Amino acid sequence: MILEGKRPLGWLLLISLSIIWGSSFILMHEGLKCYTAIEMASFRLCIAGLLFIPFSIYIFRKKYLKDLHWFILAGLLGNFFPAFFFAYAQTYIQSSTAGALNTLTPFFTLISGVLLFSKKFSRYKILGVLLGFAGALSLVLNKPQGGIETHPEYSLLAMLATLFYGINVNIIESKLSKFPPVTIAAIPISLVSIPAFGILSFIQFPIKEVLSPEYINGTLSVVTLGLFGTAIGLILFNRLIQISSGLFASTVTYLMPIVSSLWGIYFNEAFGVVQFVSLGLILIGVLVVRRY
């Protein structure tokens, strides 16, 4: 299955996703300049939900309700909770650090595949997982500017989001891959956009300010995040899983830190030796997991 992902289309999708999702962290960074974490995450999901409403109405008419529980899980684990976790995480950690921590997705894809979906796990994969976690732990405990991190809970939120991503990859591959990519993206997003709209109503979202000069840059960032980072990105990702495998598709996170780090450097974020070595450990672990 993984070999199928090496076809030109597979690699094209992988590179496209790395650019789209690698840019998502700097878009969140910009969005948080205007909106709170809960406002930004809810707004993002609502934008994606609005895009998918026409598709969802058609899909429900096609009698996909027997798999509704899997679609709900996919929406919660792959979109809803990670959107809030990363938003809260990036109120403290840099966008480049969030992008680097996202490389843990393949590990959690592998671990959850073994524990929840009866997939095989070799000793080399265990070594790869340990190397990856060592790198991630280094990112969590060390500040980019030097010194020990005093608020590791924000990085742990990002790690928790990648755990949910990993489980969701297995759900899509094992339970939902029989559906078209748009279907797999539209139903989960449409479902979780319902509570997202409810949250916006409850917190009194500043709807009158979204196009004001003070908010316009943040608004454009969140809208772009919702349309591309969530909606279009999910369609491409689901297609990639279908033509390859969940593990190969999750390797998009190996390329994302390159994009997020370049954006971070452009916006003058710190990226020290510790972060470089930590990311290297994660990528070495990833290569071991993928090779064996």
Residue 66 domain-assigned? yes
Domain containing 183: what range?
2-124+153-270
Residue 15 domain-assigned? yes
Residue 134 domain-assigned? no
Residue 144 domain-assigned? no
Three-state DSSP at 272 gives coil
Rounded-to-integer distance, Cα 211 and Cα 38, Å: 19
> How many Cα atoms sit within 13 Å of 288 on the Cβ side?
20
Rounded-to-integer distance, Cα 130 and Cα 54, Å: 44
Residue 277 domain-assigned? no
The answer to whether 90 and 147 have CB atoms below 8 angstroms apart is no
Residue 14 domain-assigned? yes
The answer to whether 81 and 8 have CB atoms below 8 angstroms apart is no
The answer to whether 234 and 74 have CB atoms below 8 angstroms apart is no
Q: Tens-digit pLDDT profile for the chain (292 aa)?
A: 444 444 678 778 888 998 998 899 899 999 999 999 999 999 999 999 999 888 877 777 666 778 889 999 999 999 999 999 999 999 988 887 787 788 788 778 888 888 888 777 677 777 877 787 787 777 667 766 666 555 788 888 998 999 999 999 999 988 998 888 888 899 999 999 999 999 999 998 988 899 999 999 999 999 999 999 999 999 998 888 888 777 677 767 777 777 877 787 777 766 677 777 877 887 787 677 666 6
Residue 288 domain-assigned? no
What is the Cα 139 distance to its own chain's centre? 18
Residue 278 domain-assigned? no
Domain count, the chain: 1
